[in-house]
Amino acid sequence: MGQTALVGDTQPVLVTPEPVVTVRDICKRYRKQIAVEGVDLTIQPGEIYGLIGPDGAGKSSLMKAIAGVLTFDRGQLEVFGERIDSEAAAERVKGRIGFMPQGLGLNLYAELSVEENIDFFAALREVPPELLAERKHKLLTMTRLENFLDRPMKQLSGGMKQKLGLICTLIHEPKLVILDEPTTGVDPVSRRDFWAILADLLRERGITALVSTAYMDEAARFHRLSLIYAGRVLAEGEPDQIRQQAPGSLIEIKVEPQIEALRRLKVKFPQTEAVGAVIRVFVAVASTEQATEQVKAVLDGLAIDDIHGIETELEDAFVALLRQRHLADEQAAANPQIPVTTAAPTPIGGEIAIEAAGLSREFGDFRAVDNVSFKVMSGEIFGLLGANGAGKTTVIKMLTGILPPSGGSGQVAGANMHSASQAIKERIGYVSQAFSLYQDMTVLENIRLYARIYAVPRKQINQRTEWVIEMAGLAGVENRLAGKLSMGIRQRLALGCALVHRPQVLFLDEPTSGVDPIGRRRFWDILMQMARVEKVAILVTTHNMGEAEHCDHLALMHAGQIITDATPEQMKLSLQRDAGELLEIVTDQPLMALQIVEQAGFEGAALFGQRIHLLAKDPEQAGRQIAALLAQKQITLLGIHPRIPSIEDVFVYRIMAREQEARSR
């Protein structure tokens, strides 16, 4: 990342700075289980380096080895030029490292307050008292935690816990920050805060950061990254360089009937997925024009409403690389057609499957849910989004009869939530983030057990079990223990168990957290089939904004209230009307450019790797203003490009606007 010029009487000599971290052929095993195998990477000073991959890919083991808290079996590791080959060597560099392990607040003390946690870590790191007050004030201001000093850690939201964990990691001003999945389980606003803090630290202190994530949409925020799968590096480099390693075109289509189009396309193009009302097809090694013609040929005779090429995402490259190296579960990935049950689900009253009408819930003086109303139709995938503590789980508990409401009413699958909680439970399926499969039972045993729990008639159990195995792509693993399954297969088994009694309504809580991209796509293929063909109503909560794009309809909750309720496309159009167009700015000095545009009044400007994203109501005027400002500071403007806003952009803007409105009252 940059070079230093030595000025003398002769021509300048460019000196490449010494890497902060050098990893060569690292291997780590846990008994017979390979965690990391033959990994090479180099992290340069002042960059944010990313490790991206699903749970179990080896990210945590690699980061712990670099942090000096885990030994490794083979290879060479250097940190700040120190070869880490002993405990003594690790101790010599630990003072310059800040390490935050995976898990919400796992490096914190639950009973201590925010300030007590900070003071404890400061004392542990021997921060002088004269420096502590200044550092604490600055970090609390950056994280917006200054008003919560006396609150116990256990009472913080997930995002607040992670920001407190970051303060405690940074309090001794380390030169290298190692953050293991800091944004997992954190709402998008807190995620944006997190990345803004890293950008500030990079700009002001020149720190180096190694960050892991399971969210593919965060890849654009890294300067360079490694895609990791099953302990090995699939690809390494800048995001654009990695995309170029899997050349191809991404085609987006609106076509009817959607399910028939999906069936046809998946036979020829395995990298096909439905994203809400559209279908996205990755066509390998083809130009946009060639790919469009190939897709049209497959869809001959169907009603194509719109077809066009869009920019490929890093996830498309990840999936393509997995296929190239024969690491993908092809049987699960291709899935040309999911079986339909021989009998349709029992019809419910009308087309409304879930209805909340003025739902409220109070816990003492605290109103967790405040007058919430929405409808979910049969065959619709409905996303309930919101920050930690927004009230989503409380709404679901009221609708399913687990928790009585303080006010309002609701119906689920034709049953009144006030008087028919048992009927509701018989008509719904539920998949939680930590679904309670029996780890020491086989796939077949789990399915049959849940069939009996849900009172499936004995004569139908075999038929329903066969349907679940085929639907969830579990053929070949029927006799394996659930505890030995990969995360993706385990989640499909969990979904199958929740559907074994043919419910009319399905509730999903963070259903694909930690699942690899192919497993996640297979999961959503199943949901699409259940919604479109079997007309199951699906309500899903998620922090993964990429998953939110798959929903037909979204409701965004904040502080117990629904602040917007529309389709994803309508939400994006509304954002553009209210806040302007999303612009991507490319310069040769992105950190300085970010500071300049922030000082110029472009609120919400954010660093995405080497690029800057911001919203502008008058894009042309904003472009001219930014170009002039950068020219004054001799920063080269390489380009300003319009971008389609994401659901994350919508989420962050709406929540921040609501918070600002509340502060101004």
Q: Residues near 631 by Cβ (< 8 Å), separated by ≥ 6?
A: 637
Burial degree of 29 (CB within 10 A; 0-12, 13-18, 19+):
middle
CATH for the stretch 15-240 = 3.40.50.300
DSSP states of 496-523: HHHHTT--SEEEEESTTTT--HHHHHHH
Residue 488 vs residues 96, 493, 515, 522: alpha-carbon distances, Å: 37, 9, 5, 9
User: Six-digit token pair at 171?
Assistant: 């309090």
pLDDT of residue 143: 84
CATH superfamily entry for domain 352-566: P-loop containing nucleotide triphosphate hydrolases (3.40.50.300)
Give the end-to-end CA distance of the chain in Å, rounded to a whole number.
Answer: 46
pLDDT-flagged residues of the chain (< 70): 1-16, 328-350, 421, 433-435, 513-514
User: Six-digit token pair at 459?
Assistant: 């004569």
User: Six-digit token pair at 190?
Assistant: 């807190």
Question: What 3-state DSSP class applies to 47?
Answer: coil
Residue 255 to residue 306: CA distance in whole angstroms: 7
pLDDT digits (tens, 9 = 90+) for 158-173: 778 888 999 999 999 9
**Is 468 within 8 Å of 521 (Cβ atoms)?**
no
Compute, in degrees rounded to 10, the torsion defined by CA atoms 396, 401, 402, 407.
70
pLDDT of residue 344: 44
Residue 594 to residue 591: CA distance in whole angstroms: 5
Do 15-240 and 352-566 show the same overall fold? yes
pLDDT of residue 5: 40
pLDDT digits (tens, 9 = 90+) for 342-368: 444 444 444 899 999 999 999 988 899
Q: What is the DSSP letter of 247?
A: -
Residue 514 to residue 224: CA distance in whole angstroms: 22
Bridge partners, residue 595, by sequence: none
Burial degree of 163 (CB within 10 A; 0-12, 13-18, 19+):
buried
DSSP states of 451-478: HHHTT--HHHHHHHHHHHHHHTT-TT-T
Residue 178 to residue 159: CA distance in whole angstroms: 18
pLDDT of residue 415: 86
> What pTM does this model have?
0.83
**569-664 is a CATH 3.30.70 domain:** yes
Q: Where do the domains of the chain lie?
A: 15-240, 246-328, 352-566, 569-664
**246-328 is a CATH 3.30.70 domain:** yes
pLDDT of residue 349: 42
pLDDT of residue 15: 52
